[in-house]
Amino acid sequence: DGGITQSPKYLFRKEGQNVTLSCEQNLNHDAMYWYRQDPGQGLRLIYYSQIVNDFQKGDIAEGYSVSREKKESFPLTVTSAQKNPTAFYLCASSTGVEQFFGPGTRLTVL
């Protein structure tokens, strides 16, 4: 089945640690996106990539980093510089017209 997978579903991190969220898609989409979702704030764009080996910052990129070495994969690293990382993270890929979303990762900083 084609789709987007995110792992893990739940992730716990100690303060000061970096953590990487996985996003894989087998839809053959060129564009991929990372969003952060907080209560009452909708989805906010962290980073996006429209082609392999290229990516752009979104509205809230500070404290995050990404890579796009393969078309299928777009991992997100939450660094210790991110002051308030506890949130729900959604990955998406796009045909250029519609975005398809993964199931999300809930990150909690202890």
Partner 1 sequence: AQTVTQSQPEMSVQEAETVTLSCTYDTSESDYYLFWYKQPPSRQMILVIRQEAYKQQNATENRFSVNFQKAAKSFSLKISDSQLGDAAMYFCAYDPGNQFYFGTGTSLTVIP
Q: Are 32 and 49 in contact (CB under 8 A)?
A: yes
Q: How near is the Cβ of 47 to partner 1 at its closest, in Å? A: 10
Query: Two tokens at 94?
Result: 């796009």
**What 8-state DSSP symbol labels residue 104?**
-
Q: How many residues does the chain have?
A: 110
> Residue 16 or residue 42: which is nearer to partner 1 going by CB?
42
> Residue 78 or residue 92: which is nearer to partner 1 going by CB?
92
> Residue 45 or residue 52: which is nearer to partner 1 going by CB?
45
Q: How near is the Cβ of 67 to partner 1 at its closest, in Å? A: 19
Query: Two tokens at 79?
Result: 């660094």
Nearest to 87 by CA among 36, 40, 41: 36
Q: How near is the Cβ of 16 to partner 1 at its closest, in Å? A: 28
Q: Are 32 and 15 in contact (CB under 8 A)?
A: no
Interface contacts to partner 1, rule CB under 8 A: 33, 35, 40-45, 48, 50, 58, 88, 90, 92, 97-101, 103-104
